[in-house]
Structure 1
Amino acid sequence: MDFDFQTTPRFSVGRELAILITSCGILDKTWEEICHVAKNGVEFSLKEDEGVAYVTFPSFSTEDFNVTDSRYGEYNIENEKIISVCLKGTDDKPALVHKGSFNRFLRILESSDFKAKVQGLKAQAIIFAGHSMGGAVATLATLWFLQKKARNMSYFCITFGSPLVGNAILGEAIGREDWAGKFCHVVSKYDIVPRMLLAPFESIAKPLNAIVPHWGRMMGINNVATTHLSISEAYKTLFEKVLQCTSTIANNYPGQSGVRSPYRPIGTYMFCSTQGAACIDNSEAVLKMLHFTMEGMPSEQLAVTCASDHTGYGQMLEAITKNFLNPTPIANCATDSFEIGIALELETMGVGAQNQHASLALIQAGKVKKEQDMNIEKLNEDLSRNQSHMAEVEWYKGKCKKGSGYYDSFKVRHDVGNPEYHVNMARDSLGKFWDDIVEMEEKHVLPSDFSFQNKWINAGTAYRRLVEPLDIKYYYCTRKDNKSYLSAGKRPHRHIVLEKWMKEKDQTRIGRDKKERTKFASLTVDSCFWARLQDALQALPNLQQEQDQHQVMNASLQESQEFENYVWGMIRDKSISVEIFLKESSLMIWWGYHRQLQSPQWRSNSPLFNFMAYESWK
């Protein structure tokens, strides 16, 4: 979103998206199916209509939802082998989900014909939907089928009044898989459920158990247990406990970070009120709006308002449609187009255009988005300009194909007329460019999914595989000690980060589905190959000296043998470039020494010996 007066759209994207989602009728249809399954008293329902399958989950039971063995009911998703390994953080920390929601999902998944029925659907699109705690189950079911998807089918999740499901790591993993756009959470202004897990579970368990039967009766469900706790008292307690915690989060009170709930919003949130609706997909902005949209609740109507907002989404959708057709004018609004957009969002969410704290939250999210977009635009231009440097290195690599290869040919030259001088300048310029990108990503001034985007992963991987060999050679030509390039602090941070991005992408479902290579790589996949080779070469004099003195082969020979196994593994996977087999290359020098040190028995057992003897790379 651009903040410039001349170029910014008059209406905010969030409001337009809400209009689009509401006007297509999918929310009304989904809510209708949810109400139907709730009244039938079943755990889930499947229905196909015009090529779309609706898989819906009801709520109104706290049997599974009550969790007492952790402060917020959080649960390590890796404890069960149900969800794929892809749902973990970039630092391998596991995602956390609410244990009660997860237990209910597991019960449905394992004790019914749920899997068979969903997998047997013929529809081209499946919408998983749920209300209240059923919305959390719908979210988990969507995740399960997304990572198990075996055929070309679209999956989407719509929830109404759903509690939060997972922590920031889960959100990060969903973003990495490019699934965030598949989740839409509809939240009424005074619905307490989407906010309640921001409070410690022990503080809300008792009032929640009293309120749930009341919700069931309001929706016409008769088979719900009753309670003796006053409904008004229960609503008041629940509201106060939750509001206290949302206020701490929304206002960033100092010294309170240690008691914050681990749960974070995931996907797009559509905040609704009788004035309309607006969509927000920025997790931090959603977190704050969960507080600001609720904080003005009138205390004298608290119980009635909370109950009707949680159970009356059908009436809410009708009111939203009417208000989109007849929008309420905004009084005393600024003339700036961006501020008008923010004011419209606040009015339609029922917060009010004059709420400065809420306005600041959306403005901040907009500013962050603008800064990120501008940074991406500049990086795209810089990436295009740096293609000439990549072409320079590519040209040099091709030039050296008939000699020893570009790694062995490269030397640090200072005379301008020499090709190595220009290649070294290109190497240096590319290093600075990627240093800047890594620094920006680590400072969080780029989109949160930047390091998961194929464009930048592919560009970074191509750069690393082409240029890092020259960085390695430069290091060994200019080093002032005898330390390996692979020792701590020697390898440039940019290469470590770019390799990490690639490995993280390979952990995604798409990455794991990559086909095996059928021919050798154009660039050696392990960009540190030449550093490992250099270390193996440095060990050779020690090996020769030990043999001359008839000493027992020690760790040095073991190191050379490990390098042989490493090379063979890359050959077997075809992840190595054939230029390493040029007659004058460092690898061939190593191989000449290495094979002389081996026993006759080694020749018959070594697959690498046969490969090299028959020149099988040709």
Structure 2
Amino acid sequence: MDESNFVRVQLFAQPEYIKTSLIRGWKVSCTAYNSDTGYVWQDIGNSTICLAFSGSLDSSAFRQTDNKFGVGNINERNDCFESMERALVYKEALTKFSDIWNDNLKAQVEKALKTGKSVLFTGHSIGGGIATLATLTSLRKLGKDAPVFAITYGFPLIGDEVLSREVRKQGWDNHFFNVVLRSDVFARTLLAPCESVCSPLEALLPYWQRSAKQMNEDDKDILMEPVEWGFAEYLSTVVQHAREVVEFITLTNMEAAKKLIASLKLAVELSPYRPFGYYLFCSAKGALLVENSETEVALPILYYSLASGQDQASISDHTHYVTVFNANTNIINLERRQILPLSQGAPYSAMEILLDFLEFGNGRIFHANTSIVNLEVLPIHPLQQGAPSSATEFQLAS
């Protein structure tokens, strides 16, 4: 890899570059909803070409599935993932990707890379899933040093544990960046069986897509329509199944529970979707940047933050990503990873304190009179002048 490409790969891990990419990627993702081709191609500066995919999804997509969780083999209807033949992915995203990823689009990507550009694949909702697949096939062909990246908004899960392990094995994690709002229920929907959520989604998907077509960088709020969706039941269903997945993952890290795990696998079919890459969990107070690891730390945060959210926000958050990209946003990079304990009597950890402070918790830890002075090694990346320079300062300054 030449030096210029190496610099661009490394820049993706820098806070200012992340923020710029997030804002510009979001803007292009919004315009993709109004594209007849299903994608938008745009030069966003910094020697970067952005390819954004539409997040439009048929309202019956979760009803018309071949299996409980809507998965399909990653090589179905395409020849883009030959080395990943055992991996399963969300089939609807794969179908849309196979329809869009034609010779003409591949040629445009190759041309941009040959001229020294980086390519940012992005998308909101299922468009993020398509962007992830486009990045995967590009990395498979070009290798881990290729200047191609994915930023997803509200669609942080796409494949199973086989795919997650393959990404880690190949060293591709730093090419995937998933942005999730604290209460966005759709971002966790694949953790629940398709049949259990298909009815509310038949009403919600058209609403979200109408809202998405109106989104742009100036949107501050999108009013919810006065329609009965049964979203409280939808939220509780997703939270319940997300908790089951997290409890199962927690058990897999306990040696004494190995036999129990084996019996559970036979008795219960849980969601197969597993995270990979980086995750940016956002709230009104800031953002938590997490690199997923063997312990799958992103899954507990996906569950924990949704379970502590508000019902109405769980619906509106799916189209409110623009609200967190502002001059006052700080990103805390959580270097020390651990599974969040789910029991009420569990000791508080630095992670729990940070989650609570950033409004990911349920208010049981952080109070006005609490002074936090020992937060382990949790550096904060300031994205504005005058921002606190450490995680501890960030807490005490508030």
TM-score (norm 2): 0.70
| 1:295 matched residue in structure 2 | 307
| 2:179 matched residue in structure 1 | 186
Decide whether aligned partners of structure 1 residues 355 and 95 sit closer, same or farther in structure 2, where only a CA change above 3 A counts.
farther
Describe the SS at the equivalent of 2:280.
strand
For the pair shown, the structure with the greater C-alpha radius of gyration is 1
| 1:317 matched residue in structure 2 | 325
TM-score (norm 1): 0.46
Which has the larger helix fraction? 1
| 2:235 matched residue in structure 1 | 239
| 2:122 matched residue in structure 1 | 129
- Find the aligned partners of 1:64 and 1:104 in 2 and give their Cα distance: 15
Alignment of 1:175-574 (within 5 A): 175-221=168-214, 231-252=227-248, 257=265, 258-283=268-293, 284-298=296-310, 302-303=311-312, 305-318=313-326, 321-324=327-330, 340=350, 343-348=353-358, 350-351=360-361, 354=364
| 2:110 matched residue in structure 1 | 119
CA deviation after TM superposition for structure 1 residue 100, in Å: 0.7
Residue type of the partner of 1:133? I
CA deviation after TM superposition for structure 1 residue 163, in Å: 4.9
Confirm whether residue 85 of structure 1 aligns to residue 82 of structure 2.
yes
How many residues align structurally? 312
CA deviation after TM superposition for structure 1 residue 324, in Å: 2.7
Could you tell me whether the CA contact under 8 Å between 2:55 and 2:125 is conserved in 1? Answer: yes
| 1:483 matched residue in structure 2 | none
- Find the aligned partners of 2:116 and 2:54 in 1 and give their Cα distance: 22
Could you tell me whether the CA contact under 8 Å between 2:161 and 2:272 is conserved in 1? Answer: yes
Could you tell me whether the CA contact under 8 Å between 2:182 and 2:360 is conserved in 1? Answer: yes
Segment of structure 1 superposing worse, 198-207 or 39-48: 39-48
Segment of structure 1 superposing worse, 46-55 or 57-66: 57-66
Describe the SS at the equivalent of 2:200.
helix
Residue type of the partner of 1:314? V
Bigger RCO (CA 8 Å, 6+ sep)? 2
Decide whether aligned partners of structure 1 residues 215 and 41 sit closer, same or farther in structure 2, where only a CA change above 3 A counts.
farther
- Find the aligned partners of 1:277 and 1:18 in 2 and give their Cα distance: 15
Decide whether aligned partners of structure 1 residues 235 and 113 sit closer, same or farther in structure 2, where only a CA change above 3 A counts.
farther
Decide whether aligned partners of structure 1 residues 23 and 286 sit closer, same or farther in structure 2, where only a CA change above 3 A counts.
closer
- Find the aligned partners of 1:293 and 1:267 in 2 and give their Cα distance: 19
- Find the aligned partners of 1:105 and 1:120 in 2 and give their Cα distance: 20
| 1:371 matched residue in structure 2 | none
Decide whether aligned partners of structure 1 residues 220 and 29 sit closer, same or farther in structure 2, where only a CA change above 3 A counts.
same
Decide whether aligned partners of structure 1 residues 354 and 190 sit closer, same or farther in structure 2, where only a CA change above 3 A counts.
same
Residue type of the partner of 2:328? K
Decide whether aligned partners of structure 1 residues 58 and 354 sit closer, same or farther in structure 2, where only a CA change above 3 A counts.
same
Describe the SS at the equivalent of 1:86.
helix
Decide whether aligned partners of structure 1 residues 339 and 72 sit closer, same or farther in structure 2, where only a CA change above 3 A counts.
closer
Describe the SS at the equivalent of 1:136.
helix
CA deviation after TM superposition for structure 1 residue 97, in Å: 0.6
The one-character-per-residue Cα deviations of 1:539-595 (angstroms, maximum 9, x if unpaired) are xxxxxxxxxxxxxxxxxxxxxxxxxxxxxxxxxxxxxxxxxxxxxxxxxxxxxxxxx
| 2:72 matched residue in structure 1 | 75
CA deviation after TM superposition for structure 1 residue 193, in Å: 1.7
The equivalent position to 2:100 in structure 1, one of 100, 105, 108, is 108
Describe the SS at the equivalent of 2:152.
strand
- Unpaired segments ≥5 residues, structure 2: 1-11, 216-224, 252-259, 332-347, 367-375, 377-398
Confirm whether residue 99 of structure 1 aligns to residue 107 of structure 2.
no
- Find the aligned partners of 1:157 and 1:18 in 2 and give their Cα distance: 13
- Find the aligned partners of 1:101 and 1:33 in 2 and give their Cα distance: 19
Decide whether aligned partners of structure 1 residues 18 and 290 sit closer, same or farther in structure 2, where only a CA change above 3 A counts.
farther
- Find the aligned partners of 2:291 and 2:19 in 1 and give their Cα distance: 20
- Find the aligned partners of 2:246 and 2:196 in 1 and give their Cα distance: 19
CA deviation after TM superposition for structure 1 residue 354, in Å: 4.1
Decide whether aligned partners of structure 1 residues 124 and 23 sit closer, same or farther in structure 2, where only a CA change above 3 A counts.
closer
CA deviation after TM superposition for structure 1 residue 200, in Å: 0.6
Task: Give % identity.
Answer: 27
The one-character-per-residue Cα deviations of 1:419-451 (angstroms, maximum 9, x if unpaired) are xxxxxxxxxxxxxxxxxxxxxxxxxxxxxxxxx
Describe the SS at the equivalent of 2:101.
helix
- Unpaired segments ≥5 residues, structure 1: 1-16, 89-93, 223-228, 326-337, 357-365, 367-618
| 1:586 matched residue in structure 2 | none
Could you tell me whether the CA contact under 8 Å between 1:180 and 1:267 is conserved in 2? Answer: yes
Decide whether aligned partners of structure 1 residues 278 and 263 sit closer, same or farther in structure 2, where only a CA change above 3 A counts.
same
CA deviation after TM superposition for structure 1 residue 230, in Å: 7.9
- Find the aligned partners of 2:144 and 2:74 in 1 and give their Cα distance: 25
Describe the SS at the equivalent of 1:233.
coil
Which has the larger strand fraction? 2
Could you tell me whether the CA contact under 8 Å between 1:18 and 1:279 is conserved in 2? Answer: no
Residue type of the partner of 2:69? Y
Describe the SS at the equivalent of 1:146.
helix
